[in-house]
Amino acid sequence: MISSRFLFFSGKGGVGKTSMAASTAVQEAEGGRKTLIVTTDPASNLADVFETEIGHRIAPIPGVPNLWAMEIDPDQATTDYKEKILGPMRAVFPADVISVVEEQFNSPCTTEIAAFDRFVKFMDDPEYDLVIFDTAPTGHTIRLLALPVNWSEFIDLSAKGSGQTCLGPVQAIQESKAMYDKAIAELRNPRATTFIFVVQPEAVAIGETERSVAEIRQLGVKSIELIVNAILPEEVCQDPFFRARWEMQQRHLQEIERRLVMPARRMFLQDDEIKGVEKLRRTGQTLLERETSTKRGDHEHVSA
């Protein structure tokens, strides 16, 4: 079982991070931990993977006790964030002042901030034993994770200057500063947070993951792991086309071991989509077996 309370799954689009995150969620929930899986990715297929309706509210996953999920809708999160700040202001400020603040909220960063604000609150919620974040593709995720560090500094600087930020008036968001600072501490605490990159054995994905890992480490995140997904089993690669693909993957697997030195698990390419509770359960069990064998120092492949 995973000891961290917060798990961040990330990776290049299409590498299988949602199915890996969902499989982990099922495994942990059935192991007895009250688990919440949240996506901040507007292109997420979390509902498709679980084969149930989820949406912009916490919903129980049928057939899996102890498991809940939520898909954060960026538009709704932005509306909620704006109203959180503007609501109290309407009672004390004239319409022209409110209009200026609303205009400021048209900043491109507001939607990202609003989504991040939502899952920072989940990090501050003691209700769940484990919170899994199925995050957006890597570049977007890096920017979101960088925001709390910037916010704390930016809030302090803005309070000494114009009093305005893309988050809204400084006085209106000062109360959030402690929550953001706490989130930074949790992200940097290896006992609290683990960041899991999902990567396929392909040159572009390896390079992007290497850069992202370096950026994450610069933010002070210490616990980072890897899942290498969609590996072709050698026994099905008799056809020359698939044999060439297998040989390419083997070269890239060696590159991954050389360039991404961290705890890593490997998953074979499945013969069907990883969706539905039963398939997620089997995949989660394989991930657990790989975690156990990795801790023992066993680097043999295990098939799902």
Convert the pLDDT of each residue in 22-49 to its tens digit: 999 999 999 999 999 998 776 668 999 9
Choice between 40 and 73, residue whose per-residue pLDDT is larger: 73
Average pLDDT for residues 99-113, to the nearest whole number?
Answer: 73
For residue 289, name the pLDDT band (cuts at 50, 70, 90): confident
Residue 1 clears pLDDT 70, i.e. is over it: no
Fold classified for 6-296? Rossmann fold (3.40.50)
How many whole angstroms separate alpha carbon 302 and alpha carbon 32?
A: 24
CB 122 within 8 A of CB 129: no
Closest C-alpha among 303, 300, 232 to residue 264: 300
pLDDT at 106: 74
Closest C-alpha among 23, 1, 16 to residue 276: 23
pLDDT at 117: 76
CB 168 within 8 A of CB 101: yes
Q: What are the C-alpha distances in Å from 21 to residues 16, 45, 208?
A: 9, 12, 20
pLDDT at 302: 35
% of the chain surpassing 90 pLDDT: 45
Residue 6: DSSP 8-state: E
How many whole angstroms separate alpha carbon 199 and alpha carbon 12?
A: 7
Residue 156: its H or E element: helix 138-160
Average pLDDT for residues 101-107, to the nearest whole number?
Answer: 74
Average pLDDT for residues 59-68, to the nearest whole number?
Answer: 96
For residue 73, name the pLDDT band (cuts at 50, 70, 90): confident
How many whole angstroms separate alpha carbon 212 and alpha carbon 122?
A: 24
Convert the pLDDT of each residue in 125-179 to its tens digit: 889 999 999 875 455 556 665 666 665 565 555 545 444 444 455 455 556 677 7
Which residues are CB-neighbours of 4 under 8 A, at least 6 positions away?
130, 190, 191, 192, 193, 194, 223
pLDDT at 11: 85
Choice between 19 and 302, residue whose per-residue pLDDT is larger: 19
% of the chain surpassing 70 pLDDT: 79
Convert the pLDDT of each residue in 209-234 to its tens digit: 999 899 888 888 899 999 999 999 99
Reported pTM:
0.83
Domain range list for the chain: 6-296
Convert the pLDDT of each residue in 261-284 to its tens digit: 999 999 999 888 899 999 999 999
pLDDT at 223: 93
pLDDT at 153: 61
How many whole angstroms separate alpha carbon 202 and alpha carbon 205?
A: 5
How many whole angstroms separate alpha carbon 84 and alpha carbon 110?
A: 13
- Buried (b) or exposed (e) across 83-94, using 16+ Cβ within 10 A? eebbeeeeeeee
- Buried (b) or exposed (e) across 244-253, using 16+ Cβ within 10 A? eebeebeebb
pLDDT at 296: 43
pLDDT at 248: 96
- Lowest-pLDDT range of 37-51, 63-77, 110-124, 210-224: 110-124
Residue 300 clears pLDDT 50, i.e. is over it: no
Average pLDDT for residues 66-93, to the nearest whole number?
Answer: 84
Q: Tell me, rounded to whole angstroms, the distance of Cα 93 from its chain centroid.
A: 38
Which residues are CB-neighbours of 66 under 8 A, at least 6 positions away?
29, 30, 32, 33, 34, 35
Helices (H) and strands (E) in the chain, counts: 10, 10
What does pLDDT average to over the chain? 82
